[in-house]
Structure 1
Amino acid sequence: METLAEKCSECGKCIAICPFLAKTGKTPAVIAKQGAEVMEAFSCSLCGACEAVCPLGLSPKNMFAGRRNAAVENGEIDIDEYRYLFPDRPNNVMNMYRRFYGVHYDGIENVGSAGTWFFPGCTLLTYSPNLTREVYRRLQTDCNCQGMWTECCGKPLVQLGIQHRADAIEKRLKEFVEAHQISRIITACPGCYYELKNVFASLAVRIQTVYEVLNFAVHKKSQNIKCTIHDACPDRFELKFAGQVRRALEQNGFSIIEMQHSKGEAICCGSGGQISHFNPDLTEELVQTRLKEARQADADILVGYCLSCVLKFDNADSPVTVTHALQLLLDQPKDFNGAKTRVAAMLNGADGEKIWDKIMAEESCPKETK
């Protein structure tokens, strides 16, 4: 079987769309022949834009993902330095944020059994609790939703190259579904949607998005509001969220103006592959690239359907209003604004240092079994 190094024609299409590849000064063929460096692997956002534009259907992304796994397995990177990100640790940053700011879902979190459950995803349930509760309330009415599942899909661990811990989460997810007799899971996060489709491919569990099941009809449609859409990387090959969000917005009176790079060729927001923790300068470049394209589209609102993307843009100075599609469609306040500032405030000062120490403290975690 021919390898990436042998098949890549070095046409440059992936380099033209990927700031990271452009900065390396090398084609994927050269990188594959030389062997990807550890920090090259952890600077790739794993967004798949390279694969989307490759005329030969090659995937440099997979080369970098494999290199991450090897680096972790071989101890070339101390991945435990980033354990504040691990979703299977009780004291990760998101869990600590929810405790610190009193974000909870008493009465609806992981209760009931059978039927349909809502899986909001870590970012939405952490940084936008009011929107999360409103979506769940609508799902109860429209879909007879029986409970809300506040688990992580495991994707962050896959991206970090810690496959054995991701496997442990997958096992736990399957056990939970079987124990609660769940037959349908509705997701708001594109990352969760595609990850859960893989996890439950062998089980009789239907995975749907909130945009295909909720009724977004409003009494008074928006007038003369122009939106441009930042498409989430996990959706670039199926464009399920991309199509559903655009239809819902247009049905509610919003007009859509596409950015230079959209849908399958969208550029990563800077949160993909957790690269903001490994290469913050590249992350900032990606954020500014997308904001520049949004300004050039001359839209009133930059809309995302992945809250991780929205928070990347919300954290930057921009003349374009940034929001989440569900906030517009459900006419809800933007309780996610300033979330990253609140994280920084939580970790500020002497009390913040104690919280950070607790986040980084060693604890019993899933270990790799040989």
Structure 2
Amino acid sequence: MDTLAENCIECGKCTDICKFLGSTGKTPANIAKQGVEVNEAFSCSLCGACEAVCPQGLSPKAMFASRRNEAVAKGELDIDEYRYLFPDRKNNVMNVFRSYYGIDYRDIENVSSGGTWFFPGCTLLTYSPELTREVYRRLQNDCNCQGIWTECCSKPLLQMGLQQRAETMQAGLREFVQKHNITRLITACPGCYYQMKSVFESCNVTVQTVYEVLKIEPLKRTDKIKCTIHDACPDRFELKFASQVRQALEQSGFSIIEMKHSKEQAICCGSGGQISHFNPELTEKLVEQRMNEVKLSGADILVGYCLSCVLKFDVFSSPIPVTHALHLLLDQNKEFTGAKARVAKMLTGADGEKIWEQIMAEDR
């Protein structure tokens, strides 16, 4: 905080690009000097757009993330109210969703040990199971993939300020890799990719994206469909997914039209930092802002390479069709459509109340 208070020149670049910072009426220097309020900490999407545009190389995001940790540690926020999100709990909402709808990977989870494994990420394996299996099938052929790992990367715990739980989960991830002699992980989610690179930094494990491994055959197209791409925040500084997805789409005959904010200056979809749970009103404003840029792009399709982003736009009715890059490139059905409505259905009525009680039950 001292660094921000002393070195922020209050140029306004971060407050211009960040709807949350702009709404506070304060600069990062003001916030650092006054102290971050708990509601401010949990309204930051932790997306890093502020850091990307700061001429001083400062990171307001880090200030808000640190304050989240402090607020949880001091009990200033009852984070346990959000335990339905905790990925290290057996009955988190995604696990229960998969159980309720019969989504199961036990036939391929532990097929073999050693070598290369596919790490799809929680959202993809939960809401796009057909695509998950298709990608795994192709990885078996393209790089001798030996197994699929249906675990979370631990990032949600870090976002919620649960540092110790995240570290415990990360230790479990490293133990699993060692037990199964895994030397390479193929990831589909940008959040998982960067998180797993950090988790396995000291281990002999290579982490790659599906786009640098899959042999994607160009689709035979006679039309020239125009795509605009929503870039995922975790990819903001390396742009690995951004460049690989654009290259794959162009090789498949699609043309790319960039929105006003893209690549390193992309705007959060409203899922970052779990703010759709902490500040749903802000989420709606972020989605509205993004949808306006989508309209102005003149594109035919909105493409994302993070399924959490794609689901957010699906829920809020994108002005043009929205899809995941892998659905488009592999010519797969968009089975994620209406996923959030299926979550709501699962939790509706008397049976839904019992399921919610099961999700929110205290851990034993």
TM-score (norm 1): 0.97
> Displacement of 1:60 after TM fit?
0.2
Measure, in 1, the Cα distance between the counterparts of 2:332 and 2:29. Answer: 48
Q: 2:129: which partner in 1?
A: 129
1:310 is paired with a residue of what secondary structure? helix
Measure, in 2, the Cα distance between the counterparts of 1:124 and 1:198. Answer: 21
Q: How does 1:228-307 map to 2 (within 5 A)?
A: 228-307=228-307
> Displacement of 1:222 after TM fit?
5.7
Measure, in 2, the Cα distance between the counterparts of 1:214 and 1:360. Answer: 39
Contact 1:314 / 1:338 at 8 angstroms: preserved in 2? yes
Q: Compare 107-116 and 350-359 and name the one that shifted more.
A: 107-116
Contact 2:114 / 2:181 at 8 angstroms: preserved in 1? yes
Contact 1:222 / 1:252 at 8 angstroms: preserved in 2? no
TM-score (norm 2): 0.99
Contact 1:222 / 1:254 at 8 angstroms: preserved in 2? no
> Displacement of 1:219 after TM fit?
5.1
Q: 2:36: which partner in 1?
A: 36
Task: Give the 3 Å change call, closer, same or farther, for CA 222–262 of structure 1 in structure 2.
Answer: farther
> Displacement of 1:319 after TM fit?
2.5
> Displacement of 1:188 after TM fit?
0.1
Unaligned regions of 5+ residues in structure 2, if any? none
> Displacement of 1:2 after TM fit?
5.6
2:298 equivalent to 1:308: no
CA deviation vs aligned residue, 1:340-366 (integer Å, no higher than 9, x gap): 0000000011110000000000013xx
Q: 1:170: which partner in 2?
A: 170
Amino acid in structure 2 at the alignment position of 1:240 = K
> Displacement of 1:317 after TM fit?
2.3
1:3 is paired with a residue of what secondary structure? helix
Query: Which runs of 4 or more aligned residues in structure 1 lie more than 4 Å from their structure 2 counterparts after TM superposition?
Result: none
Q: How does 1:1-370 map to 2 (within 5 A)?
A: 3-218=3-218, 220-221=220-221, 223-364=223-364
Measure, in 2, the Cα distance between the counterparts of 1:192 and 1:98. Answer: 19
1:229 is paired with a residue of what secondary structure? strand
> Displacement of 1:213 after TM fit?
0.6
Measure, in 2, the Cα distance between the counterparts of 1:324 and 1:182. Answer: 28
> Displacement of 1:70 after TM fit?
0.1
1:112 is paired with a residue of what secondary structure? coil
1:270 is paired with a residue of what secondary structure? coil
Contact 1:110 / 1:150 at 8 angstroms: preserved in 2? no
> Displacement of 1:110 after TM fit?
3.4
Measure, in 2, the Cα distance between the counterparts of 1:109 and 1:85. Answer: 23
CA deviation vs aligned residue, 1:16-38 (integer Å, no higher than 9, x gap): 00000001110000000000000
Task: Give the 3 Å change call, closer, same or farther, for CA 262–114 of structure 1 in structure 2.
Answer: same
Measure, in 2, the Cα distance between the counterparts of 1:191 and 1:221. Answer: 31
Unaligned regions of 5+ residues in structure 1, if any? 365-370
Task: Give the 3 Å change call, closer, same or farther, for CA 95–275 of structure 1 in structure 2.
Answer: same
Please tell me the root mean square deviation across aligned C-alpha atoms, in Å: 1.0
Measure, in 2, the Cα distance between the counterparts of 1:180 and 1:221. Answer: 42
> Displacement of 1:335 after TM fit?
0.5
Contact 2:155 / 2:192 at 8 angstroms: preserved in 1? yes
Measure, in 1, the Cα distance between the counterparts of 2:222 and 2:206. Answer: 33
Contact 2:46 / 2:273 at 8 angstroms: preserved in 1? yes
Measure, in 2, the Cα distance between the counterparts of 1:276 and 1:2. Answer: 29
Measure, in 2, the Cα distance between the counterparts of 1:110 and 1:358. Answer: 28
> Displacement of 1:291 after TM fit?
1.1
CA deviation vs aligned residue, 1:51-99 (integer Å, no higher than 9, x gap): 0000011000000000000000000000000000000000000000000
Measure, in 2, the Cα distance between the counterparts of 1:328 and 1:158. Answer: 31
Measure, in 1, the Cα distance between the counterparts of 2:282 and 2:238. Answer: 27
CA deviation vs aligned residue, 1:270-329 (integer Å, no higher than 9, x gap): 000000001000001111111110110000000000000000000012331000000000
Number of residue pairs aligned between Structure 1 and Structure 2: 364
Amino acid in structure 2 at the alignment position of 1:81 = E
Measure, in 2, the Cα distance between the counterparts of 1:88 and 1:2. Answer: 34
Measure, in 2, the Cα distance between the counterparts of 1:165 and 1:22. Answer: 32
Task: Give the 3 Å change call, closer, same or farther, for CA 158–140 of structure 1 in structure 2.
Answer: same
